[in-house]
Amino acid sequence: MMTEGKPDLLTQRIKQAAEVIAVSSPVIALTGAGISVESGIPDFRGKNGLWSKYDPARYATIDAFLSDPVEVWNMLREMDELVLAAKPNPAHTALGILEKKGFLQHIITQNIDNLHQAGGSLNVIEYHGNCSTLSCLSCNRRYSMEEKRHEYLPTCECGRILKPDIVFFGEGIPEEVLNLSFDIARKARVLLIIGTSAQVSPANTIPVVASKNNARVIEINKEKTWLTEQLTDIFLEGGAGDIVSGLLKEIIKTGA
């Protein structure tokens, strides 16, 4: 943010990042839970993250769901309440405007909260699925979370407990999502990485693929990650809401 006299380092770096984005195409974004924290959805590995309350080995693997769906639905219900109450924050809406103005071509999100779409983005690839629909692992019937929310244990008419259409640990990423994401990462001229610790594979290979194909990497995070030293070109340290809004303002100022 501007201080007396000389703009501070972050302000200078936001300007630098805006100048790169304004003249590059395609520009893509990879987002993680950090972009939705300001919407009231905790991240996973932060101090009050979801995994500090629920052991992912017991709640977030496909084996856990198959062996004890009742217990896993205790966590899923809490996540559903957080997602239901969440609204897009300035980071989501700024990305939606960047897409509308032609400065952003795709978002690959690890999030399942639908907030990019609610924030106006259209080209969203949901790498880990979306929690707004449920599927039956026995008869393949599908339901919306909306119609099943009133059931304490959402159950299929065939009698089986339903599974949200999200990717659990131990499940593969759908082939078409994997291939499309790899392809747009390979072609990207700029990769914006927002609010991810990049701990989870294969999502965390996307920055490597983009960087190996000479994309400029701009990372937005409250703290450094392993990406910062290894492949980030411009690191914008701070909250996603402020920084992405600041980026949008600077990009529009370039008049590109």
Query: Cis omega (within 30 of 0) on the bond before 202?
Result: yes
Residue 110 within binding range of ligand APR, rule CB under 6 A = yes
User: At closest approach, how far in Å is the CB of 147 from ligand APR?
Assistant: 25
Q: 156 or 245: whose CB is closer to ligand APR?
A: 245
Residue 225 within binding range of ligand APR, rule CB under 6 A = yes
Instruction: Select the span of 37-45, 61-69, 74-82, 100-108 touching ligand APR (CB under 6 A).
Output: 37-45
Count of Cβ atoms closer than 10 Å to residue 197 Cβ: 19
Q: 181 or 196: whose CB is closer to ligand APR?
A: 196
Residue 97 within binding range of ligand APR, rule CB under 6 A = no
Q: With contact defined as beta carbons under 8 Å apart, do 58 and 64 qualify? A: yes
Task: Give the DSSP H/E element, type plus range, for residue 165.
Answer: strand 163-166
Instruction: Select the span of 39-47, 72-80, 115-123, 139-147 touching ligand APR (CB under 6 A).
Output: 39-47
Count of residues in contact with ligand APR, rule CB under 6 A: 23
User: At closest approach, how far in Å is the CB of 237 from ligand APR?
Assistant: 9
Residue 34 within binding range of ligand APR, rule CB under 6 A = yes
Q: With contact defined as beta carbons under 8 Å apart, do 154 and 133 qualify? A: no
Q: 34 or 164: whose CB is closer to ligand APR?
A: 34
* The one among 132, 181, 196, 245 contacting ligand APR by CB under 6 A: 196
Residues in the chain: 256
Burial 117-150 (b: 16+ CB within 10 A, else e): bebbbeebbbbbbbbbbbbbeeeeeebebeebee
137 φ, ψ (degrees, to nearest 5):
-80, -10
Task: Give the DSSP H/E element, type plus range, for residue 166.
Answer: strand 163-166
Residue 239 within binding range of ligand APR, rule CB under 6 A = yes
* The one among 7, 13, 26, 45 contacting ligand APR by CB under 6 A: 45
Tokens read off for 249: 């303002």
Active-site residue, from 106, 116, 128, 150: 128
CA quadruple 177, 21, 14, 211: dihedral sign: positive
Residue 199 within binding range of ligand APR, rule CB under 6 A = yes
Among this protein's residues, is 128 annotated catalytic? yes
Residue 55 within binding range of ligand APR, rule CB under 6 A = no
Question: Closest Cα partner for 120 from 99, 103, 143, 106?
Answer: 99
* The one among 28, 38, 108, 251 contacting ligand APR by CB under 6 A: 38
Q: 31 or 189: whose CB is closer to ligand APR?
A: 31
Q: How many CA atoms lie within 13 A of 44 on its CB side?
A: 16
3-state secondary structure of 169: strand
Q: Annotated active-site positions, please?
A: 128
Question: What is the contact surface with ligand APR in residues (CB under 6 A)?
Answer: 32-34, 37-38, 43-46, 49, 110, 128, 195-197, 199-200, 221-223, 225, 239-240
